[in-house]
Every structure is written in C-alpha cells, then in structure tokens.
Structure 1
C-alpha cells in the first residue's frame, strides 16, 4: 500500500488465477464409507439436511521481541463437525477424537435437533471437482522453522538500520497448512488444501521530548514461502519504520466535517467494515442490517461498484471452496451505486429462497459456518490519483487505518486513522495525530465524489471477526475522495 510521505512496494494487482497444475491428491482425511455412515446417523431422526466437515490444520507461529526470537511453536488441530438442519433449526456437534465411535456419537447428538422418527437411509457421496485459485508448493508445513525465524531476524535488522530514532521492533510470522473435506446429504463431497502465511512488524520510533509513534506493516496470502523473496521482510520492516518516523512531530487533528482522500490498498478496511458486513445474509434475513429490503435501490454514488471475490489469485481471503463445499465466487454487491446482491451461506440462502454464493465460512471444525466476506474491494474509476489530491483545497489524507467498529443496525462507524496528513491547496502537509473517521456507511458511499484509476489490494494482512470467529480476508480500493465526512480530532477549527 502506498503512503503519504514515501512510496512503498505495491502488492500484486487483483486478477484471476491462471490455470495451474493440481498437486497429487493426498490420502483422504476420513474414509468415504465412514463419512457416509456419519451422514446416515445424522439423518436417523428425519432431518432435512446433514453435513460432515473434516479438518486437519498444522500451524507454525513465531514471535520476535528485543532482537530475539521469543517463541516458535508448531501445533496441530484436527476434528470433525456434524451439522443437521431441520426446518429453521440447526443441530451441531463436533469431536476432536477420530475414533469411529466418538464420531458416531457426534453425528447422533447433532441429529437430536430433529425429533421425528426417520427411516434408515443411505447417503452415498461423490467427489466433486473444485477450481484452483492458489497452489502452494511445497506446502508451508514442509518448510523448516529455522527459515521462518530467519525472516523475523532479517526484519529486525532492517528496521533498526532504517533510522536511529527506531527504539523498538516486534515481529510475528504465522503460517498454516489446512486440509478440509466437506460432504453432505445432497451427495456432494469436496476437499481442499489451504496454505496461508503472513508476516507483521511493529516499530516504535522516539523523537524529541520523548514523543513516541508507532508504525505497523505486513502481508502475505495463499502463497509459497518463495513469496518472501520479492515481498521481503526487509521491505516490510522498512515500511513499518517509515510510518513510525514519518509521523513524529504530528499535530493535533482538526475535528469537524472535511473532505477526505483515502490512500489505495489497506484503506479498503473501511469499506469492509462500514458496508461489507451489512450485506451478509444472516443480518439481511433477520432484518437487522441497514441494507435489508433494498435490492435494486440506489445506496451509493454512481462511482461506487463493490465486489466480493473469492477467486483472486493467491489472495488472503481466496477460497477454492467455502466451508460448506461450494465453489468460491466473484459477486458484484453494488454496481454503479445500485444494490445488486448479498452474501449467502447455504442455510440463509435456503431460508430466503436464494442460492449459496460460496460465502459460508467457519474458523474451525468447532464452529458453524456463517456468511462471510472473502476479498472485498472497490472497482477502479477513471480519475488520476494526483488529480484527486490537487482538487482538494483543505482536507485530510488517510494513509493507514488502525482499528474500527461498525453498528450493523444503523451503519454507524468509527475508524482510527493511524497515519494521516493535512491537505493544503492540493498538496500533502504536516502529519496529524488522533484522527478518526465517523459516519454512516451508506451516507459515506453517497458522498464518494472521485474514484481513482489505481486499484490496489492490501498486501495480505486482514483478519475479520464475527460472532467470535476469526477469518482471513482481503480488502482493496483505488484512491478515493469522500466529501463532507466527519473527522474526529483533538483540535477545534
């Protein structure tokens, strides 16, 4: 993602994956006859639908502090979840014990949601082909841990060499090789291997009078370990250090309505939170989203087209199949300001008379699937980014966002801007501190007055939380101008 005071390396542009050779099919996680037996037991009380979800995930996590590796851990999580649906009711049980008797007990427990007396039936399944939007070779689990710790040591060295004012460097590396299998009583059986890795660096710089500022940067995706040859830990560390040093001497942010320009890339997190969650089908079905019942209506500026795309090549949020076994899809949610669609998992799709959009995702076998985003981005416009900035006489340039929150029921959002600059007569001015953006999602979309021709995904560091479940996601947008948005600050104009 670019920054206000110095350029940084761009992440690869959003594009569909080219055809790739499939890796040899590994040994099945569970024998197919056992999966079919679990489905039969799950339906023994007469449910409408049953599903078996199998997962085996190997994770490596490394942490660096004070120029030393503080921890390096590898862990295995595996288990089986069984879901039964009867009308609008859902029964779910899981087991991390792979003994057949334990798995059958889980299936029988899930079946109790249906109180009928169904006749004994069989549910044969057939393996379905899945698309390939990522291919990681060798699997990340096969890479030596020493190479992973080495990335963080390199990052620490580069950050400290960047500027003498860098006083503290913390780093983290995490990867996982996740294998899943999903089978259901519709006869569908799918498998996928999902490798994912990410590196992050936090830098604290100290200026005059003991002032301290923090910079954070990172990225990754469903990419092989060789990704770090081009998106290097040195680049990550220098960008984190640049952010921290660049904002030393920041002035207090002026509060009040302003014109805001968003930097391309990670600024898409604003779109994800303020708009994306409100388009998820569970909130729509319950009528708790501000976007419920507005299909076909104008909800944003003509310049706004929002897409959720699970098929982005090697994207952090990309999926060959979702956690219900359905293929990932590219979905146009808002087109030229008009609301076109929602994000559906299988359950909410069925209850609403729709079809799944491949949006059913779950954190692990211990969790039920929910409608979730994958890679969500704003389509590019035709304005040159430099012209967008030149047109603003006074305003705020938001280079990097921190945390934020949104109320789905009314669309109200608040976001911390961790790196921001004054705009004065079309040019970047001094850095500002304590800036927040405050507004209502649909109103902010209607006030989008310029969309740049410089689309950019984030570098691959998004984590989305919902109902206690965390999922990897991608975001992105080009340079965007939003008029008359409320800026929170500590100085009155």
Structure 2
C-alpha cells in the first residue's frame, strides 16, 4: 500500500470549496478520503483468496439560504471535482431551507492522537497475511478435531482523510488498522453447533491470531450438547460482543442529541439524574489511545475529545455534532461520523466514537465464581429491533452458557433475554478488569442482576 500525501487531499478540497462558493454557495465544505486495503479470506477451512482494494473520493456540501446540498464523486479529476461542487450548489438551491441551520464549523485546534498509525502495516505483503490467517486457522483446527472453521480472514487498511470548509477549517489525518477473524462450528454425532465468532482488531500491528483461532474453537466445542433452561430472572455476565450489540441500538442512541431533540430518547431532560448503577462511569473518547474510532477530528472537522456521559450512574452530557450543538447553543463534542466505507459518499451523522465503560478490579474468573445460578452471554441476536426510545429489547442469547455454583456448566439454547437497557444499567453489580475494544464499545465484562430470561419450552 502506498503512502498518502496530505497535500494531495487538501489541494483538491480547497479547489472544490472555491468552485462552490464562486457559483454562489454561502458556505461550502469538502470531505476527502483515500484508502487502500489488503485482505485474505478463509472459507470452509481453506485460505481462498487475497484481495487488494483502493478507494478515493470527494464529498461536497454547499449551503444556500439555510438549505443544504450534497454531491460526491469517486473519480478525482478536474472535471469531476468541478461537477461535484456545482451539483452540490444546485442541490442546495433546489432544497428546502432548514430554519435551525446556523453554520458550518469554524477552525479549532486539534489534539494529537496515539497508536492510530503504524508504518509497518502499509508495508505488509499478502504472503504475511496468508501466514497470519494460517496461524488462526491452525489454532482453531488444532484445538479439537470436532471443530470446523467456516469463515474468517485477515486484513489491513491504510486510510487518510481531509476536510476543508469556507470558514478556514483545514485538517488532515491518517490511520491504519489490522483485523483477524474466524468463524467456527463444532460437529459431533449428528449435532452441529451454531456459528461461533471471534476476532481481534487493532490500529497497530499487535494482533494475536492464535488466540482468535483457539477462542473461536473453544466456544464452538463448549456449545455442544446445549440444553434448554427454565424461564426466570437471573444474573448475567455480558461479554463485550453481546454488550456492544445490546447498547448500540439503545443507550448509544439515547445519548445522541439528535434523538433527544426529536424527543426519541428516554433520556431527554435527565441531565443530572441517576440512570445507572453507582459503578457505571462512561466516556465517549474520540482520542482514546489505539481506539478503533479514534481520529484527530470528526466528519465535519470539529476536534475529537473525551466527553463524560455518565459519572457514577448520573447522566452528565449528550453527544453533539455541529448541527445539534448549534441548535442547542453548546459546543460540538466531535461526534459527526462519515461512515467506515466510502466516508466521502454521505453527509455526516451523529455517532459515538469509543464508547468507554471505566473498568473495575474484578477478574473474569471472579465474576463467574460469585454467581450461584446465572448465565454468561457471548452474543445476542435481534438487537437491531430494540426500541431506541424506550430502551426495550428482546434478544436471543447465543452463544451462551449456564453458570452453576461458580462454574460454567453447559451451553444453553433458545434462551431469550428481555427488558430495558435502563434496567440493565441500574442493575449492574460488577465490572471486570478485562477491557476490550469492539466496534464503538470499549468495556470489560459486565455483570447484571435480575435479567429476565425466557426459556424455550
């Protein structure tokens, strides 16, 4: 993968902004991104392909009489740059004004980030990724002969982004990432387990493919001979993948200012109120060292920052982008998001960065040992249908295991979890010391009391 030059992006952005304003736009913004990737796939126990990808593009927002227009291109020539800028302006002229629009952001100082770029990653050849995939594959297959890897892969990404607007915002950043994943099943005497999944993603070159393969295999083997359980209310340990799925469509939406302003959040008007256990402190940290969502600035050029959302159970703040902040008369928290794939192709939306639960001192073993009768849940299905307004959820716990007398006893099948995310937050009784990054979440294992479980009859 080739290195990326800052001026390659900023010069294009300046040109697009000048064209749009010359045409008549009162405000204009250009967002650019360039990325290159290499990936190696795993299918049905085989390393099957190596794929190289490149993408680059420009997105232009133009404002005219409080109306916004947008256009983008993934071909960067003088003509396509001009066309995108002109189309954005014409789109603005044809759009309805937004009475709440104030302006695009003004320039502000950006903080430095740590461990988000590793010069080794762009130089990794496909053969080295094949070797990494082989380590994960061999670890899974070597764990137990009943394990069968059905999918997965290893990939690297180099990305650069820049934003320029007519108020003088001019920013550039670059970052790298590497990820390894594997999906497994276990088969024995005609029984086939559900697919178990494990992965490791980092911004620098420090992944552990052997752990990924071994852990995915362990989950599959321990999913054999699953049993039904009775309905009831039990303590549950949520591992990070399960907790991320649960929170993404509930709590994370509830603290977004756009949901609050549209009266679609149960947390509207609750700043300063107790909404969670005393053990819960949450930051949205766009500057987290090595964070999967860490950049110097957000999708509008506002500085990334660390925002205290919940302190010892008390709601302290919401997340804002430029639009929602100016609508309320506060500062943006740097939470405008452009998307991971082709970020130039869409206007910014409000999103969490690294949604971080402060860990406590319980080891994973202690969290389990202290439960006499409960569950440990590694994944949930159906979280996307949760209600962001009420926080209500009804999900299938899979894979999940029964805990009896302080030990993991057996896999469970058909167990559903139901309740509201706000009851979950209030009933958190312990947090582990094993923090992990999963998507937008950074958290340890979390133990929750009195969760409603609906067993299969």
Q: What TM-score do the two structures reach when normalised by structure 1?
A: 0.81
Counterparts of 1:454-473 in structure 2 under 5 Å?
454-458=433-437, 460=438, 462=439, 473=440
How far apart are 1:172 and its partner, in Å?
A: 1.4
Q: Which residue of 2 aligns with 1:14?
A: none
How far apart are 1:320 and its partner, in Å?
A: 2.3
Given that residues 249 and 388 in structure 2 are in contact (C-alpha distance below 8 angstroms), is that contact kept between their aligned partners in structure 1? no
Q: Distance in 1 between matches of 2:236 and 2:90?
A: 54
Distance 1:130 1:338, change over 3 A: closer
Distance 1:346 1:392, change over 3 A: same
Q: Which residue of 1 aligns with 2:122?
A: 141
Provide the alpha-carbon RMSD of the alignment: 2.8
Q: Distance in 2 between matches of 1:199 and 1:87?
A: 48
Q: Which residue of 1 aligns with 2:99?
A: none
Matched, 1:378 2:357: yes
Q: Give the structure with the higher percent helix.
A: 2
Per mean C-alpha deviation after superposition, the further-off stretch among 102-111 and 423-432 is 423-432
How far apart are 1:30 and its partner, in Å?
A: 3.6
Matched, 1:207 2:188: yes
Match of 2:251 among 253, 275, 288: 275
Structure 2 alignment gaps of length 5 or more: 95-103
Per mean C-alpha deviation after superposition, the further-off stretch among 135-144 and 238-247 is 135-144
How far apart are 1:293 and its partner, in Å?
A: 2.7
Matched, 1:99 2:77: yes
Q: Which residue of 1 aligns with 2:7?
A: 28
Matched, 1:489 2:455: yes
Counterparts of 1:341-380 in structure 2 under 5 Å?
341-363=317-339, 364-380=343-359
How far apart are 1:264 and its partner, in Å?
A: 6.0
Q: Which residue of 2 aligns with 1:151?
A: 132
How far apart are 1:255 and its partner, in Å?
A: 2.6
How far apart are 1:262 and its partner, in Å?
A: 2.6
Q: Which residue of 2 aligns with 1:422?
A: 402
Counterparts of 1:396-435 in structure 2 under 5 Å?
396-401=375-380, 404-405=383-384, 406-435=386-415
Per mean C-alpha deviation after superposition, the further-off stretch among 127-136 and 274-283 is 127-136
Q: Distance in 2 between matches of 1:209 and 1:105?
A: 60
Q: What TM-score do the two structures reach when normalised by structure 2?
A: 0.87
Q: Which residue of 2 aligns with 1:465?
A: none
- Residue deviations 1:136-165, cap 9 Å, x none? 332533321121122222222221111111
How far apart are 1:266 and its partner, in Å?
A: 6.0
Match of 1:329 among 305, 308, 322: 305
Given that residues 10 and 164 in structure 2 are in contact (C-alpha distance below 8 angstroms), is that contact kept between their aligned partners in structure 1? no
Q: Distance in 1 between matches of 2:442 and 2:382?
A: 16
Given that residues 363 and 434 in structure 2 are in contact (C-alpha distance below 8 angstroms), is that contact kept between their aligned partners in structure 1? no
Given that residues 363 and 432 in structure 2 are in contact (C-alpha distance below 8 angstroms), is that contact kept between their aligned partners in structure 1? yes
Given that residues 377 and 400 in structure 2 are in contact (C-alpha distance below 8 angstroms), is that contact kept between their aligned partners in structure 1? yes
Q: Distance in 1 between matches of 2:10 and 2:345?
A: 20
Distance 1:291 1:330, change over 3 A: same
Counterparts of 1:62-461 in structure 2 under 5 Å?
62-86=40-64, 89-115=67-93, 130-138=111-119, 140-224=121-205, 227-228=206-207, 231=208, 233-263=209-239, 267-363=243-339, 364-381=343-360, 388-401=367-380, 404-405=383-384, 406-448=386-428, 450-458=429-437, 460=438
